[in-house]
Amino acid sequence: MKKTVPRLVLVVGLVVVLVGAGWLWGRLQTAKVEVPIQVGPLLPQPTPTIYPSPVTVLERVQGLSRLETASYHMEKVITAESGQGPFGFLFGDKMLLIAYGQVIAGVDLSRIGPESVLTTDDGTVYLKMPPVEVFLYTLDNQRTYVYDRQTGLVGMNPTLETAARQEAERLILEAALQTGLLQEADENARDVLRALLLAMGFQHVIFVDVMPTPTVTPTLPPASVTFTPSP
């Protein structure tokens, strides 16, 4: 019993110290207490120096024929956290990210082939337009920023902000699709192509999902001629 009591006291004391430290850290985070520390005169922050590699590798050249017909600029608030629970005051990391992104949609004109266009003698053109698609969805890094972050005593999770930005991109794309991005891009593409074809001299532009079968007017064979010899 003489050997057990000191160990028990030591364990209890360690738990009290950890709980007290966590409570104090939580109070500081909640109250957002800022203690200015200044040693000597304030010095300007040094300007970072960047040394780019003199070699540039051209990996691929690709011709583009995309018609961008709709662009949405979205804002999304993301809350990301890790290490929460009973030991959150030690390993916890929580972040509030204000994300701004852009989603661009349109049609790829290179997918319009000879089988997608049919013209008639009266100046009508039938056009099977390719389906609209999302060309780009990305974050605006100049406007996206971390609004607030609270970390435990051990330190922050280095992958938390990257995961929050990736989730923000996905949610911004999802919100743009739910808002009607593809429908608006399809309507705008039809308006642009219709105006272009009318300017080329066609009288009517009809968009179809299935190309009509052209009908050929049958031509009658020439009438037979009988020559009667003269007497």
In angstroms, how far is the first alpha carbon of the chain from the final one?
Answer: 154
Amino acid at position 68, single letter: E
Compute the distance between CA of residue 225 and CA of residue 228 in angstroms, rounded to an integer. Answer: 10
- Quote the pTM value: 0.66
The single residue listed with the structure tokens 């009438």 is 223
Write out pLDDT tens, residues 84-117: 888 777 888 899 999 999 999 999 999 999 899 9
Alpha helices in 144-230 (DSSP H): 160-179, 181-199
| pLDDT of 87 | 76
Strands (E), the chain: 66-82, 93-108, 117-119, 124-127, 133-139, 145-151, 204-207
- Domain assignments of the chain as residue spans, ordered by start: 1-32
- Which of 146, 151, 157 is closest to 97 using CA atoms? 146
Per the model's pLDDT, the better-predicted residue between 40 and 183 turns out to be 183
Write out pLDDT tens, residues 164-210: 999 999 999 999 999 999 999 999 999 999 999 999 999 999 999 98
| pLDDT of 180 | 95
Residue % of the chain over a pLDDT of 70? 72
